[in-house]
Structure 1
Amino acid sequence: MEDKFKINRLEFFPVMMFSIVMGLSGLTITYQKAALWLSFPSIIGELMMYGTTAVFLLILFIYLKKAFKYRLAVANEFSHPVRINFFAAISISMLMLSIIYKEEYSFISAIFWYPGAILHFYLTMYTISFWINKNQQLDHSNPAWFIPIVGNLLVPIGGMGFVDIDVLIYFFSVGIFFWIILFSVILNRIIFHNQMAVKFMPTLFILIAPPAVGFIAYFKMFEVVDTFALVLFNLGLFFTLLVLFMYKNFIKIKFFISWWAFVFPIAAMAISAMLMYHIKASLFLGILSYVMIASTTIIILIVIYQTIVHIAKEEICIEE
């Protein structure tokens, strides 16, 4: 009976678990850049690098085990109008790990970047084809749709030196274009139609990610802060302030694994703020950098605690 229970829990192990790696990777890069630009101890980022890699390998192992034992369950997730977007979290995790290793271990970075970029290219094509070929209900639209799009903006950050810049500009162009299109769709849904399910409220934080990551990618490719770069940075800042202004919408939400959606966008904005501070060295940007690092750290500690508590209560990996 106990073995059967364990097998059933494996069957309901969600692909959304890869968003944990996205969150941990974002925090790792945050502390790596804080060591580089703000004189934080480098040991923090180094330890987190190994810890994040271990978590990715563990989640990947469990999900592959599920794929072998419960192929139908994985196929159902891959055809689900909401969960399909979270498959891109697998390739995004690989792309972020490539960024984590890029400065010190270029070979390991390449091991993560090449398959991550190829997989994300496929998942972007498949997901958009899925949206086109199967009529989507407006109620299914939510900011999680940005996940396959944000990954395209991550490709140039880790890909400099691995491929020609024209390839990186392709991914950047796709990411920016579909960010604008999807934002219009989702804003229309949020304002004029039914409110999102409570479990997806944390995904509003994902609104921060496209402009924040886009700013980093743009600077990585062109090493210039022009009008377009400033627009991206300030849009990221706007959405950060917006979710802060709406804090009452989040403080009483029951825990769902989607809480990990809090972490990655906040980390992306923290890195953007530090990068801008590194370039311009203004007092405001310096304060913003420290505030964002503190916010990212506090949020991820809360989410880690809640995740552990709910795993202990066996409230994760259950049938919905």
Structure 2
Amino acid sequence: MQNSESIKAIPSNRLQFFPIMMFATVMGLMGLSMVFIKLNVSFDFPYEIGFYLGLFTSGLFLLIVLTYFFKIVLYVKEVKHELSHPIRVNFFAASSISTLLLSMFFRHIDMYIANILFFVGALVHIFFTFYTIKFWINNNLEIAHSNPAWFIPIVGNLIVPIAGVGFIDKSILYFYYSIGIFFWIILFSIILNRIIFHKQFAAKFMPTLFILIAPPAIGFISYIKLTASLDFFAHILYSLGLFFTILVFVMYKNYMNIKFFISWWAFTFPMAAISLATILMYELTNVVFYEYLSYIFTLITTSIVVLVAVQTVVHMRKKEICIME
């Protein structure tokens, strides 16, 4: 009875267009939560900031999961449409990435729950990885369909080793890492070709350029987790993450005056990733430069998350989200 009332509480037309991209909000908020938890360990920041933000994000994750479940039940055709859409299909992996991030957060609360979340996230993510790559191979995609969102099902494979150390044999974690690193290089070549030689991205996809930061930044953290070695390859990964971070800010004019879309959340998680990578670099080197850079990136990440969250709430109140595009 309560379930039917909950379903009725959501206007049917808006539930029908509830986007799979909403899971990107969990990625951004949980990423920021992990940044503050890491700051507590490295720089003695208050633990409560990251902890309560993580709890709030966990509740938001459950709300999004339930809402999308109702969409599957009531509007299965719309879900199938998203699964066959050349751009939206990539965002399904955001749900499994969110689960993996929750697993990382719950390591600080309950290892049993963290373990369950890890296995669920890892299994769902490898499913979406194979599904998405099969989709790319079996469909006649155009170069205009390519954009940095294609990295989402790939970056998740680099997150698995971070969440999974201590839960599963490292040989399996290397399997995930290999997929992520290999396809990052391949997809980057495709997307760079699209950016340079073809038509510019639509305004709503400009924020996805920030996703370029995530693969090397997450790859660096994952590599350190697997090898515990700050070697030449680790330096290359971090330096590339830093390079792409500087690049997207050099291109700041591209993001000015663009209309709000839910894709703005693409700004958030990559910035959290480079913030975490920089804090880890400081821990490994004790170089003061990385300490100051950690503060700067944390401030930028927090500001972006707050800005995008406020805009999301404002546009939700205007009923400009969950509408037909």
Question: TM-score, normalised on structure 2?
Answer: 0.96
Once superposed, what is the RMSD of the aligned Cα atoms?
A: 1.0
2:186 is the alignment partner of 1:181: yes
Superposition map of 1:137-216 within 5 A: 137-216=142-221
Find the aligned partners of 1:165 and 1:111 in 2 and give their Cα distance: 17
1:105 Cα deviation (Å)? 1.9
1:286 Cα deviation (Å)? 0.7
Task: Determine which of 309, 313, 319 is the counterpart of 1:314.
Answer: 319
2:226 alignment counterpart: 221
Find the aligned partners of 1:59 and 1:69 in 2 and give their Cα distance: 15
Find the aligned partners of 2:290 and 2:9 in 1 and give their Cα distance: 54
1:104 Cα deviation (Å)? 3.6
Match of 2:11, SS state, is: helix
Find the aligned partners of 1:43 and 1:287 in 2 and give their Cα distance: 22
The residue type paired with residue 295 of structure 1 is I
Superposition map of 1:1-320 within 5 A: 6-320=11-325
1:68 Cα deviation (Å)? 0.2
Structure 1: gaps (5+ residues): none
1:212–1:5 CA distance, 2 compared to 1 (3 A): closer
Match of 1:215, SS state, is: helix
Find the aligned partners of 1:54 and 1:198 in 2 and give their Cα distance: 31
The residue type paired with residue 94 of structure 2 is A
Q: Percent identity?
A: 54
Find the aligned partners of 2:97 and 2:124 in 1 and give their Cα distance: 9
1:253 Cα deviation (Å)? 1.2
1:101 Cα deviation (Å)? 1.4
Residues 181-233 of structure 1 show CA distances to partners (whole Å, capped at 9, x for unaligned) of 00000000000001111100000000000000000000011111000000000
Find the aligned partners of 1:43 and 1:4 in 2 and give their Cα distance: 33
Question: TM-score, normalised on structure 1?
Answer: 0.98
Find the aligned partners of 2:99 and 2:151 in 1 and give their Cα distance: 17
1:4 Cα deviation (Å)? 11
Find the aligned partners of 2:321 and 2:19 in 1 and give their Cα distance: 9
Residues 159-201 of structure 1 show CA distances to partners (whole Å, capped at 9, x for unaligned) of 0111100000000000000000000000000000011111000
Residues 215-265 of structure 1 show CA distances to partners (whole Å, capped at 9, x for unaligned) of 000001111100000000000000000011011111211100000000000
Match of 1:315, SS state, is: coil
Find the aligned partners of 1:111 and 1:52 in 2 and give their Cα distance: 18
1:103 Cα deviation (Å)? 3.6
Find the aligned partners of 1:264 and 1:255 in 2 and give their Cα distance: 17
The residue type paired with residue 234 of structure 2 is A
Moved over 3 A (4+): none
Find the aligned partners of 2:98 and 2:125 in 1 and give their Cα distance: 10
1:29 Cα deviation (Å)? 0.4
Residues 84-118 of structure 1 show CA distances to partners (whole Å, capped at 9, x for unaligned) of 00000000000111111124421111121101100
Find the aligned partners of 1:210 and 1:105 in 2 and give their Cα distance: 28
Find the aligned partners of 2:108 and 2:226 in 1 and give their Cα distance: 16
Residues 46-98 of structure 1 show CA distances to partners (whole Å, capped at 9, x for unaligned) of 11121010000000000000000000000000000000000000000001111
Structure 2: gaps (5+ residues): 1-7
Find the aligned partners of 1:24 and 1:4 in 2 and give their Cα distance: 26
Residues 250-281 of structure 1 show CA distances to partners (whole Å, capped at 9, x for unaligned) of 12111000000000000000000000001111
Find the aligned partners of 1:5 and 1:198 in 2 and give their Cα distance: 29
Find the aligned partners of 2:120 and 2:293 in 1 and give their Cα distance: 35
The residue type paired with residue 69 of structure 1 is L
1:155 Cα deviation (Å)? 0.2
Find the aligned partners of 1:190 and 1:143 in 2 and give their Cα distance: 10
